Structure 1
């Protein structure tokens, strides 16, 4: 089904599209004929990504600096897409954030740092686009990136697990409400697909976690950009699937919920060391970005 013109004429908005899974999916959709607009908080990052994409697919990638925690910024950005003659026909909700922490150590600010992006931001983008699609009578398709933890829970990543569970519920609820308008919502719960900085924040100090995680997976491997790109394309294509969350992890979620149970053995010293490593990585990223 993955022919080169599958998404000819489609315009896909990808939040968090400058790096990581968002960029992987955007690049796969470009290869299948789509145009994309990538959003992110860091304008220079999303613009560099769009420039790289346009070098291969001339004129088919655009970038916009948007903080999806801000509903007014979302509305303005979507209004601009329509005004510029490039209205989105599809949406990938990928923007997110996560870090490990004992729940008793979480501050309200730390909790909101995740929830305001993943929970509030994802809904706000979905609602803003959905209103346009309903008004214009065009229909549309949404894929949201969540986690397998919505089925199992997960220790030490509670703000993310709670927020992603909310998006899972949103997917099912709005799929029923908006199906009559020709709008479908589905979600992908990916397993380990390595992205820049992921292990530094979730597995600080562990050497070569990819090898360990691959050995623990029923299929003895971790995910690839093509895995998630192909599934996103499948769900965004005009297929009669609506309100589903599909685990993309080789069956890994069946072997143990969340994947962070090993941290139950950590004491204060280990958590202090982990926080220091994560802070050092964040500072290095800021320095690298200038």
Structure 2
């Protein structure tokens, strides 16, 4: 357990009483750092809700990890577009506060349901409450997650199990429980999972998270193929680094890590919760009814920038290019 009390890459330290938000969030203490590259002026964030008012009128949305971070942003966007939202996590006090805050802002009811996604019985009870209070959902967002950094040789079985239970098993329990009820009721729904860019590439020092997130993506693409016949769609968003308050204070107290990250992002800045929320609402809306089985990376180009073997050549000056071109032209033979 000492390992689980170490540094966190989510927006909080792992505790027994929380659901977790699967975003990589960066800041300096409790203040958000607004560092950016010069090119960021071409790519200003637009966080206003992009879909038409009433897009989710008369629809029910169920969001795990909806009390904070990306979950809160997605819930706010859905609620503002007319959805009756139900947010779930372990910490009922945080959920109730968030539900009240969003309800006051959007004038639409937001419900708080306590749920430990690692426990199938807790998931079943939460879904029972969801159905009894508002009915079967039209939108399901699997957002609860957890993460921490550690050399893999120091991982204990409990550390591995903690992350995979929350991320992979928790997503499966929620999806299968709700999916079976939807099939029985002959009702369709849009499912969305929030993963991460390294679910695709893998990454050292976050191996349980990488493995679990990759499993979530295969769960979604597999069910997109199998359960489309029942009226269900499944899609995935892979967020890159997201800007929020206070979330990277233990790893980046000086802001230097954020600066180095931005240098790797072609767009020249971190993302925002509102940008993820806009993509999420689109994928869960009827406007995206032909989108299923998609895994969409939203990271400002970070992944492709880091993956390209010769991308570091952007540091070469015009003078250096001229010199190298001359050397290349003078090369003879193969």
Find 1:161's aligned residue among 210, 214, 225. Answer: 210
Find 2:290's aligned residue among 227, 237, 240. Answer: 240
Is 2:167 aligned against 1:132? no
**What are the equivalent positions in structure 2 for 1:29-48 lying under 5 Å apart?**
29-48=78-97
Find 2:303's aligned residue among 253, 261, 279. Answer: 253
Alignment: residue pair count: 256
Could you tell me how far 1:208 is from its partner in structure 2? Answer: 5.1
Cα distance in structure 1, aligned partners of 2:215 and 2:71:
20
**What are the equivalent positions in structure 2 for 1:84-123 lying under 5 Å apart?**
84-123=133-172
Cα distance in structure 2, aligned partners of 1:79 and 1:52:
24
CA contact (8 A) 1:145 1:188 kept: yes
Could you tell me how far 1:194 is from its partner in structure 2? Answer: 2.8
Bigger Rg, structure 1 or 2:
2
**What are the equivalent positions in structure 2 for 1:66-77 lying under 5 Å apart?**
66-77=115-126
Cα distance in structure 1, aligned partners of 2:246 and 2:257:
13
Cα distance in structure 2, aligned partners of 1:75 and 1:189:
27
CA contact (8 A) 1:20 1:196 kept: no
Could you tell me how far 1:64 is from its partner in structure 2? Answer: 1.0
| Residue number in structure 2 paired with 1:231 | 279
Is 2:214 aligned against 1:146? no
CA contact (8 A) 1:39 1:65 kept: yes
Cα distance in structure 2, aligned partners of 1:209 and 1:24:
25
| Residue number in structure 2 paired with 1:284 | none
Could you tell me how far 1:166 is from its partner in structure 2? Answer: 0.1
SS at match of 2:271: coil
| Residue number in structure 2 paired with 1:60 | 109
Cα distance in structure 1, aligned partners of 2:273 and 2:197:
18
Could you tell me how far 1:197 is from its partner in structure 2? Answer: 5.3
Is 2:226 aligned against 1:177? yes
Call closer, same or farther: CA 1:124–1:195 in 2, change over 3 Å.
Answer: farther
Could you tell me how far 1:226 is from its partner in structure 2? Answer: 1.9
CA contact (8 A) 1:146 1:189 kept: yes
SS at match of 2:237: strand
Could you tell me how far 1:57 is from its partner in structure 2? Answer: 2.6
Could you tell me how far 1:183 is from its partner in structure 2? Answer: 0.1
- Root-mean-square deviation over aligned CA pairs: 1.6
| Residue number in structure 1 paired with 2:52 | 3
Q: Provide the TM-score with structure 1 as the length reference.
A: 0.84
Call closer, same or farther: CA 1:196–1:41 in 2, change over 3 Å.
Answer: farther
Cα distance in structure 2, aligned partners of 1:31 and 1:208:
36
Call closer, same or farther: CA 1:8–1:208 in 2, change over 3 Å.
Answer: farther
For structure 2, the residue ranges without an aligned partner over 5 or more in a row are 1-49, 308-334
Find 2:265's aligned residue among 202, 217, 238. Answer: 217
Q: Provide the TM-score with structure 2 as the length reference.
A: 0.73
Call closer, same or farther: CA 1:197–1:104 in 2, change over 3 Å.
Answer: farther
Cα distance in structure 1, aligned partners of 2:208 and 2:217:
14
